[in-house]
Amino acid sequence: MPKASHHDLRFAFRELLASGSCYHTASVFDPMSARIAADLGFEVGILGGSVASLQVLAAPDFALITLSEFVEQATRIGRVAQLPVLADADHGYGNALNVMRTVIELERAGVAALTIEDTLLPAQFGRKSTDLISVEEGVGKIRAALEARVDSALAIIARTNAGVLSTEEIIVRTQSYQKAGADGICMVGVKDFEQLEQIAEHLSVPLMLVTYANPNLRDDERLARLGVRIVVDGHAAYFAAIKATYDCLRQQRGLQHKADSLGATELSHTYTQPEDYIRWAKEYMSVEE
């Protein structure tokens, strides 16, 4: 079978957005996982910013990874991927001008789509890590992203957090990003179908949800009717890889006979050492994480 080009994969992702169905992403974090996901029939993969931070830095998701580090990982995946890969580009690694650079680099890396969020990242002095930038600045970032892309098939998706503002404020934000030309709207923090319906009725572009397997949003047919085309359940595959590595090395070391009940989440917490980062944040930034 001939290898699909990056443009082909972007067109395939556009077809998913234009369909009437809802698709769940495979969490891909390296070339091997991308090949596995495609072979198993996943329609779309996602390279998460938090996963890249874990794999590249063994660091928690505190916006520590740089654009060049993220692009390097996306490029490795892009060389072999035979399914569309959506990149979680966080805040675009800076202001609107940085967003333009981010789009240029990730397009060259071969991603099919990317999300640009309106979270105030990295967390500022004395501010919460869930604070959002103004709507106007968010619109500027989306417009800059659209200007920077060369391949018009590359999808630019605006992301916001529906869990930190009122539903009315989220409607204003998402409508503004739609008007700015975003190819889709991604939301994290949607509580249930009632809230989703209130937001979706004001939008006409395809929707993407980061649900982390929220049980209140487990109905693909209903999601599809509301315009949701992409769902991110989380990144279980990478956490399973952490657990498998730990168990394998324990066995190799001859420690399998000793009781150990650490799960993947606990292992991730242990080895990313978030307490250090939280302590540093409190000491140098006065930020509560």
Give binding residues for substrate as ranges: 50, 159, 235
The CA distance from 33 to 136, in Å, is 38
Q: Helices 236-252 and 49-57 meet at what angle, rounded to 10?
A: 20
**Binding residue ranges:** 50, 88, 159, 235
Nearest of 214, 233, 273, 206 to residue 21 by alpha carbon: 206
The CA distance from 96 to 134, in Å, is 13
**Binding residue ranges for Mg(2+):** 88
Query: Residue 161 pairs with which residues in a beta bridge?
Result: 188
End-to-end CA separation in angstroms for the chain: 48
